[in-house]
Amino acid sequence: MPRSLILMNKHLLALLGSLLLIVASVPQLGAQPLPTPGPATASLGVIPQPPSDITAKSYILIDFDSGLPLASLDPDMEREPASLTKLMTAYVVFSEIRAGKIGLEDQVTISERAWRTGMDGASRMFIEVGERVAVEDLLRGMIVQSGNDASTALAERVAGSEGAFVDLMNAQARALGMHRSYFANPHGLPGHEAQYTTPADMARLARALIRDFPELYGYYSEKSFTYNDINQSNRNLLLWRDESFDGLKTGWTSAAGYNLVSSAKRNDRRLIAVVMGIDAPNHQRGGIIRANESQALINWGMRFFESRKLFEGGTVLNEPRLYKGASTTVEAGLAEPFWVVLPQGQGERLQATMELHGPHMAPIEAGDTVGEVRVTLGGETLGRQPLVALETVEAGGIFRWLWDSTVLAIRSAWPL
- Numbered residues of the known binding site: 249
CA–CA dist 352, 375 (Å, integer):
4
Q: Does residue 146 carry a catalytic annotation?
A: yes
57, 58, 72, 86: the active-site residue: 86
Cis upstream peptide for 199 (omega within 30°): no
What pairing do the DSSP bridges indicate for beta strands 360-361 and 322-323?
Answer: parallel
Q: Does residue 263 carry a catalytic annotation?
A: no
Q: Are 182 and 195 in contact (CB under 8 A)?
A: yes
CA–CA dist 107, 389 (Å, integer):
51
Q: Are 407 and 323 in contact (CB under 8 A)?
A: yes
Q: Are 272 and 61 in contact (CB under 8 A)?
A: yes
Identify the burial level of 152 via C-beta atoms within 10 angstroms of its C-beta, where 0-12 means exposed, 13-18 middle and 19 or more buried.
buried
CA–CA dist 74, 116 (Å, integer):
36
CA–CA dist 229, 226 (Å, integer):
6
66, 111, 123, 146: the active-site residue: 146
Q: What amino acid occupies position 150?
A: A
Q: Does residue 57 carry a catalytic annotation?
A: no
Among residues 82, 73, 2, 31, the alpha carbon closest in space to that of 275 is found at 73
Residues in binding site for substrate: 249
58, 72, 83, 123: the active-site residue: 83
Q: What amino acid occupies position 149?
A: D
- Residues acting as catalytic residues: 83, 86, 146
